[in-house]
Amino acid sequence: MAKNKRLTADVYSSKCPSREVLNHVTSTWGSLVLVLLLEQTYRFSELRNRIGGISEKMLAQTLQLLEKDGFIARKVYPVIPPKVEYSLTPLGKDVAEKVSALKLWVEANLTKVISHRSKNA
């Protein structure tokens, strides 16, 4: 077993690839897709319908990106009409849980943010 040279990842460095990964999972659509797939496997059209305001272009692009990063598994059924299912990989489930915690916090504390905004309007 080779001893790896261990470089420390650092999101504060613009060169570090960790920043790119962080951007993928926190992107507008990426975060929503990840959290949604935590519930269950979904088909392309189901995701499109559940995520208000997303376009097919952005959904496809987001899914491809998250698949390349190893967060999402894509399963194609060779049937007509086409059927494709998206699910989380173990790695994806792991990040998605972190993103989910953030999403739940925001929903739960929304009123506090709103009231602060109006106070200092």
Partner DNA sequence: CAGTATCCTATCGGATACTG
Partner DNA sequence: CAGTATCCGATAGGATACTG
d(CA 76, CA 78): 6
* Near DNA in 74-113, by CB under 7 A: 74, 81-84, 86
Question: Among 44, 48, 58, 69, which residue interacts with a second copy (rule: CB under 8 A)?
Answer: 69
Q: Does 40 bind DNA (CB under 7 A)?
A: no
Q: Does 17 bind DNA (CB under 7 A)?
A: no
Q: Which residues bind DNA (CB under 7 A)?
A: 27-29, 43-46, 53-58, 60, 63-64, 74, 81-84, 86
